[in-house]
Structure formats: C-alpha cells, structure tokens
Structure 1
Amino acid sequence: MRTERLATDPASISRAAALLRAGGLVAFPTETVYGLGARADDGTAAARIFEAKGRPSGNPLIVHVPDAAAAQALVETWPPVADRLAAAFWPGPLTMIFARRADRIADVVTACGPTVAVRVPAHPVARALLQAVALPIAAPSANRSTEISPTTAEHVWKALAGRIDALLDSGPCERGIESTILDVTTSPPTLLRPGSIPAHAIAAIVPLRDRSGAIVAPHLRASAPGSHARHYAPRTRVLLTHPEQVRATVDALVAQGLRTATLEHGRTTEAGAHAELLPSDPVAYGAELYAALHRLQDSACDVLVIADVPEEPGWEAIRDRLRRASAPSDENP
C-alpha cells in the first residue's frame, strides 16, 4: 500500500477527510500523540486499525468527535457530571467512557462491549479534520501495538508507512502523554488511565474514584483503551531503577557485555554511551518522554535503564507509562 504524506493545509485536510469517508486509515496529530483514524461507524474500516497496528481485538478504541454535542449523539446516557467535565476539559486530553448507542458505533470499536470511550481533541489539525469528515473517528495511537507512542510524524512513518493510506504531518505533539480516561458510568467517576490531565485537577472539579489497578488479560476485553499491563514500550529491554542506582546498574550491565542506554531527569548525567536527560517538571518531562524513548530504542542498545520518577502529584501518568514500558513482555505478547 502506498501511504500519502500530507501537509496540513485545507486541501490536505480535505484529502484526508475524503480518505476517511471512503473507509481509509489516516494518521493525524492530536495535542497528546498522533492517532490512527478510521470511521467509527464502519466496522470494516475500524477493523483495519487493528490489522495495521497488530492490536488485540479485545482492546477498545477511543472515538474522536469535534464537540460535546457530537459526543452526546453517540451515547445512551449523558450523566450530569459529564457536563462539568466537558466544560472544564474539552477540547483537551480527557476521554470519558459512556454507555453507548449501539446504532452509532461499530461493535469492533468497543470490543463488543456496552460502553464507548469518547474525547474532543484540542489540536487544530485534528479539529479541522473532524469538522471536514463530519463523522466520529476511532483513533488509537498511530504505532504498532504495545510499542512507544508517536509524538512526531516521523515516528508514525517509521512504524506504519505502507500499512495506512495517509499521514497528516504537523510536527511534534505538544503534550506527549495520552489522554486521561474516566469512566463516567460510575458514581463518582472512576479513573481508568492517568494521563495528561492530572487526577488532582479532575478531583477539583468532581469527586473521583481511584482506579483499581487490576491487570486485564490480553484475550479479554480491556476496561479502557491502552490499559493492558505492557504498553508504551520500547522493543529494547527496560529496567526501571532508583535514580541513585542508575550508575551502578549501568556498570553491572556493561560488565556483562551489554550495551546500555539511560534515561534520567533533572540533573547532569554521564551514565551510559547513550543518555537522555529530561526536565524535572512532569509536564515538560511528559512532552519529551516518547521522543526520547524513540531515540534510545534506535541506538541499538541491549538494555535501557530508566531512573524512576517522584511519587508526587502530577507524576502519576509518567509513573504509569514507565511501569508498563518495563513490564515483562510475556504479559502482553
């Protein structure tokens, strides 16, 4: 398959919208990561997402719409709490899970479940595309399943060129960490995936239930998109360690003849032949994380040593991604 690499001018947006309406796959930027889009109302089109990504069929997809009114058209019940959350965080990196209308969304999108995950992205290109296509668009991250999420068009091209119809290239994503996912079918809402909007910011708007932390087996329907134990992971083996133990860990690995790379934050480092140093602020760290992981994965090292991050508010989404990136690969083959 030939993949078109498009700009983000009006003609390119129109071309991408036409491809989507015809059942094609189009990767496009959001404020978090690049998404891989297909019609959410067309089971054949949406099934192509799973094929292109190698994604398990039991892992549901997030549906993107241009505004809250379009979201309401997809759901069976719109609880009052959703109005407060939408007013506070949409457009933006918040995904809400609702009881779905079965006649509006293809079963493959929801893994045949009774709920649908919906968000209204803030990125101007994503919003222009959704307005142009005038359809709900299912769009997980535009990467191969369980691997590092893409925050640049080059990341998408490397993973999916030849597997999708088009890529809208809008440069780097602003935030880098995926959307926060809340289940609003429960009272109070339940946090299913920490993300770009921290839990304490949501709790300031509505009461919030902590997520259970239960691991969902790969062959079962996941409770939310991207909630399997191993996700967002480099192909390189990952070791998560205390910041003060990075040097010793690297030395021990080198003594075994292993090539190492390191990812640290907040201070100068000389650990390893390939090293990335990220900011000590969680928002800035999150914006740079996936791009750093892509660079380190491409360094052809045997082991990636990552310094763990603080157990403090604002870091929960980062901790979640690092723990799943370092989970044993046999948990989600």
Structure 2
Amino acid sequence: METKIFKAADLPQVIDLLKSGEVVAFPTETVYGLGADALLPAAVKQVFAVKGRPADNPLIVHVSDFEMTKQFVEKYHPLTQQIIKEFWPGPLTLIFELKKGALNPVVTGGLSTAAFRVPDNKITLKLIKEAGFPLVGPSANTSGKPSPTTAEHVYHDLNGKIAGILDDGATQIGVESTVLDLSGDVPTILRPGAVTKEILEDVLGIEVPLDAHLVKETETPKAPGMKYKHYSPDTPVYMVENSDWPAAIDWAKSENLRVGILAGPAISDKFTGLNHFIFENDSIEAATHGLFSGLRALDQREDVDIIFANVFSEIDLGLAYMNRLKKAAGQKYFKK
C-alpha cells in the first residue's frame, strides 16, 4: 500500500478514503491520531491491526461538536455542559455511558461506556464535520511506542500500512488528552494531560480525584494509556532525578554504555561529548512538548545504548509528563 501525504486542500480525497473503509492519520493539538470511520467495524478493526493494539483497549471517538455525541450517549453527567463549554474543542476526553448498541464493541473494548473528544485542530474538525461521521483516533504509531507529534513520525511507523496522513505540521501540546470519566457520580481523571487536575478543580469548584492505578495486561482499561508500560522506545529509558545526573553518567561510562540525554539546557549543558535531545527551555511545557519527539530521535540513533530522561515534579502539567515518562521507562529510575 502506498501511504500518501495529504494537505488541507485534499480533504475530499481523505473523506472518500475514510468512507471506503480506509485508515488515514489526522492531526490534533495533542498527537496525531489514526483515523477510521467509527461506524464501520471493519475499518476500526484495521486500526487495531495496523497498530498491533490489544483488542481490549478502547478507542477515543473524535467528534466535530457536542451535538454529534447525542446519537450515542445514554445520559450525561450534570456537569457536562459546564465542562464542554470550558474545554471543547480541546485536549479533554470525556467518558459517557452509551445507549445500548450505539457503538460496536470493537470501538468500546466491550465496555458500556465510550470516550469522546472534540479536537482543537481546524483541519480535523472540518474533516469530521464534512464527512458527517465520527472518527476513532488512537495515536498513529505502533502500539506501545512513543506517540507521534509530526506527520514524519507517523510515516516512520506506518508507511505502507495506511492509506494516508493528513499533515498539519507539529502538534502544539505533545502528549495525549486528559481523560475524564463522567460515567459515574464523581468526575474522575483516568489519564492526566494538559487539562490538569488543578484546572478542572478550579473551573468545577469540586475535588476531582485521579485514578492512578496501573492496569495489568489481563485487565480491560476504561481509557487508553492506563497500561503499566506504554510509549516505550526500543532503547532502554531510565528516569534521572536532578541530583543523580553525575552519578548516572559516571555509571554509564563505567559500563561502556553510550548515553542519550533527554533534558532541558540546564542539565544538558553540563555534559559534553554525549548525544542530546535538548528541550527548547527548562520549563515543563517545553519538556512535555518535546518528550515523545526526543524519545523517538534518540531511539533512532545507532550510537545510543541507553536514554536518561529528566524528571519533573508531579504537579500541574508535570503529572501528565511524568505519567508518560514513567511508562516509557517501565517505571525505572536510575539509582546510585
């Protein structure tokens, strides 16, 4: 299969492909999604096959507006209108209880709930609106590997496996959306993202708990990204606390391991002669934006045996960054 690169002017071709059951990657403000018509089970199964994704892992349904969810959702939490007014379009996914039979079990992982999002990307919103049907949209990468934040990342993983990629440049945020479960009485975060716990609590005026348990391989997750290990490159990744960097570098040298450093300038500038992926600055925003790109860039280098990545405090956006980094590292910290 030839994987074509499409631009905004090519939307009619993309829509025709999706209507015929093909799989096309699309841009969002978070990461690139792997799109198929959510109402065509055969097309959705292709998404799982292309990614090598476990069939019990539910998919996020991308819609053009809140109105599009009404044909699927049984009931809405009382805070739904307040939430969508504040955060849609945007990097917030909402889980609702479904009408019976509204979506095929291949989309929901066999659950009675489904996750919905209105992405904050003009091209993709136009795509969904003009197509007239919702798109499933897991990250457009090989399952378990770092998510793609550029069309080039998608092409690297899926060239020859999908019909096309709708290219809109690099994504703005760099990690997947926050997932908020609204199917129960208490809104609960299942996956942290750019819409943080603190932001939600400030807007809603209530405590919003975080479900931090890691789903085992034998469990069915209620939302994507809840597995113990995820987003992992082939090269081993270790998380490094600020005070442990000199010891980590010395240990790697003693083991004749070629190090790749994933950090901001404050850390990277201290160690010369090594491979680096340097975040634009030392902020958590820059680290979050560059995390997946950095993991991919260092993983593709033949002269890197191990990746050391800088940690951040698990507050605000740092919670989303560390959620991804911990899974990329298989929960492993460097210890003296």
TM (norm. structure 2) is 0.93
C-alpha contact 1:58 1:218 (8 A) present in aligned 2: no
CA distance in 1, matches of 2:34, 2:122: 16
- Cα distance change, pair 175–328 in 1 and its aligned pair in 2 (3 A): closer
User: Deviation at 1:103?
Assistant: 3.3
- Runs of 4+ deviating beyond 6 Å: none
- 1:211 paired with 2:210, answer yes
Describe how 1:103-142 pairs up with structure 2 within 5 A: 103-142=101-140
What SS does structure 1 have at the residue aligned with 2:179? strand
2:317 paired residue among 308, 314, 319:
314
1:83 paired residue among 81, 84, 95:
81
C-alpha contact 1:183 1:191 (8 A) present in aligned 2: yes
C-alpha contact 1:4 1:165 (8 A) present in aligned 2: yes
C-alpha contact 1:42 1:105 (8 A) present in aligned 2: no
Which residue number in structure 2 is paired with residue 292 of structure 1? 294
Which residue number in structure 1 is paired with residue 283 of structure 2? 281
Which residue number in structure 2 is paired with residue 18 of structure 1? 16
CA distance in 2, matches of 1:25, 1:131: 17
C-alpha contact 2:77 2:185 (8 A) present in aligned 1: no
CA distance in 1, matches of 2:305, 2:175: 25
C-alpha contact 2:194 2:317 (8 A) present in aligned 1: no
CA distance in 2, matches of 1:212, 1:55: 23
User: Deviation at 1:197?
Assistant: 1.1
CA RMSD after TM alignment? 1.5
CA distance in 2, matches of 1:272, 1:73: 58
| Identical counterparts, % of pairs | 34
C-alpha contact 1:43 1:106 (8 A) present in aligned 2: yes
Q: Which moved more, 1:177-186 or 1:256-265?
A: 256-265
* CA deviation map 1:255-307 (0-9, x unaligned): 11211101122513325621122222222321222112211111131110112
CA distance in 2, matches of 1:204, 1:271: 43
User: Deviation at 1:19?
Assistant: 0.8
Describe how 1:219-258 pairs up with structure 2 within 5 A: 219-258=218-257
Q: What count of residue pairs does the alignment treat as equivalent?
A: 327
Describe how 1:319-330 pairs up with structure 2 within 5 A: 319-327=322-330
- Runs (5+) with no aligned partner, structure 2: none
Which residue number in structure 2 is paired with residue 270 of structure 1? 271
Whichever residue aligns with residue 62 of structure 1, its letter is: I
Which residue number in structure 1 is paired with residue 50 of structure 2? 52
What SS does structure 2 have at the residue aligned with 1:85? helix
Q: Which moved more, 1:116-125 or 1:237-246?
A: 237-246
Q: Which moved more, 1:36-45 or 1:306-315?
A: 306-315
What SS does structure 2 have at the residue aligned with 1:80? coil
- 1:33 paired with 2:34, answer no
